[in-house]
Structure 1
């Protein structure tokens, strides 16, 4: 949804306040040193702390929402933006509530449906997730990430064949994006590991060798090992946030590899490390929480059998 046409309908003072919020929405990061390794080859970043600017933005939007006489479009936009900042702060339920409020006021916001669908995946409400992503795609048939997230929902719902179709569509839109190739591989590998690896190798040829995320694909292909991946994560990082983001991703895909190999105890460790980064908005952090729930459910079922 374009911001400009909406802002033009705001009163002048309110437009100024919203523009101030947008300028403050740029994340600020404090440069720190990585935490010393606690074991051979293990590197930790300091957990990401809630950013003051996100908290300030939530407070300012709440103040704007308390002002009377907003049009529905204006209130919907403000609820949506507050939900985005709640999400960055890890306040998932408050974010979900705001996205629902936005859609009640303006039911033609595809991004709000997309974000709601992600929460439904995390709580394993798959039918609600499918409905949310379908709504997003009906409103915006070119919404890339609705294809990704619907594919992930289908994957976790055990419908891999349908998931592959969505993830192929997602990959076609940008074959140079490593994450698109990686998620397609994760789903395909559960159906046919050899064919999935051959396809990832082909897709790897379209990726930039210097990109950090390409190293994740190389790890899944077996071209580099675990220690090399973690070593590469430490190269050319600018601050603790960058290191934390890389480790959030690396630890998640390490966990997925261990799960594929049946090494659930090791996978548990890396899922917890993923979550400990506090990079709440990353897909890897979101679904590490789900993977952890699924792992505990599996262990509980095995004990009850």
Structure 2
């Protein structure tokens, strides 16, 4: 750029800046006069707390690369290869690469059909794609191979819940709770299923189960919110307290957003629920139950809206 052209552009910028200042003063004057007659409305609801989206962890990416190298070697027994496929699937899942994870879990079962956890993992994907009968078969297989597999009870209960088979869902989720009554998440999922049968009875049962929970656990605050002893603003504030790093905060907010969304859905407030479902998904905490089923809830919400528009 030449010197003369630079001076000319400098004058133009100075003139432009002077015009902006004049315009800004006029806007301020208009704004002040408006404030004299009308007061600005207060924002509705609590201030929204946003999580910083979690980034793919280097260790998961490194592990996927390392396992892929091992799988390229031909001298592994079927059991070893099944284990490697399963482990790679777990890390793909943490990275949000769910189709690749599902493919690896199926490969593991092709080599070793007695891997209960691989069936459990596959069943979760079937729930997310609303293939409920396939999900039931997967969880039944997991429980036949390992009758004490806690999370197969949870996930089969969730599959029954989303399939609308609430009585059976309650049975599985109650079995899951009774294995560890100190776990708030078990009480929460039982409450969600029971509330579709009887909201008053579900709240009474949640209150009873709440008495067995540790007040110092973050997840106990989620039950407090569902019971109405704290509100949305307090829950989001608590999610930000006593966390060590961004990952911990994002994990808490992933859970808080999801249960806020579920509460709004139960009240018929779909617009607010939509916001919190999207916020749950935006945390990128892919391996959390709340993130997994926020995607499903969003699909179901959009399906319902499409049906309403078509009717």
Aligned runs of 1:134-149 on 2, under 5 Å?
134-149=140-155
* Cα distance in structure 1, aligned partners of 2:164 and 2:192: 13
Equivalent residue, structure 1, for 2:99: 93
Secondary structure at 2:230 match in 1: coil
Shift of 1:167: 0.3
1:72 equivalent to 2:72? Answer no
Using CA pairs under 8 Å that are at least 6 residues apart, name the structure with larger relative contact order, 1 or 2: 1
* Cα distance in structure 2, aligned partners of 1:51 and 1:257: 31
Shift of 1:40: 4.3
Shift of 1:55: 0.5
Equivalent residue, structure 2, for 1:81: 87
Deviations along 1:114-150, one digit per CA (max 9) or x if unpaired, are 0000000000000000000000000000000000000
1:247 equivalent to 2:253? Answer yes
- Say which of 231, 236, 247 aligns to 2:237: 231
Equivalent residue, structure 2, for 1:190: 196
TM-score, with normalisation over the residues of structure 1? 0.87
8 Å CA contact 1:41–1:230 kept in 2: the answer is no
TM-score, with normalisation over the residues of structure 2? 0.85
Equivalent residue, structure 1, for 2:225: 219
8 Å CA contact 1:252–1:284 kept in 2: the answer is yes
Secondary structure at 2:139 match in 1: helix
Equivalent residue, structure 1, for 2:59: 53
User: CA RMSD of the aligned region, Å?
Assistant: 0.7
* Cα distance in structure 2, aligned partners of 1:238 and 1:42: 21
Equivalent residue, structure 1, for 2:294: 288
Structure exhibiting the larger radius of gyration computed from Cα positions = 2
Aligned runs of 1:94-243 on 2, under 5 Å?
94-243=100-249
* Cα distance in structure 1, aligned partners of 2:158 and 2:46: 33
Deviations along 1:145-187, one digit per CA (max 9) or x if unpaired, are 0000000000000000000000000000000000000000001
Deviations along 1:172-219, one digit per CA (max 9) or x if unpaired, are 000000000000000100110000000000000000001000000000
* Cα distance in structure 1, aligned partners of 2:198 and 2:210: 18
* Cα distance in structure 1, aligned partners of 2:203 and 2:99: 37
8 Å CA contact 2:170–2:193 kept in 1: the answer is yes
Shift of 1:44: 1.3
Secondary structure at 1:68 match in 2: coil
Secondary structure at 1:132 match in 2: helix
* Cα distance in structure 1, aligned partners of 2:63 and 2:185: 30
Deviations along 1:73-107, one digit per CA (max 9) or x if unpaired, are 00000000000000000000000000000000000
8 Å CA contact 1:259–1:267 kept in 2: the answer is yes
* Cα distance in structure 2, aligned partners of 1:261 and 1:268: 13
Structure 1 runs of 4+ with >6 Å offset = none
Shift of 1:41: 2.2
* Cα distance in structure 2, aligned partners of 1:180 and 1:53: 30
8 Å CA contact 2:79–2:111 kept in 1: the answer is yes
Equivalent residue, structure 1, for 2:268: 262
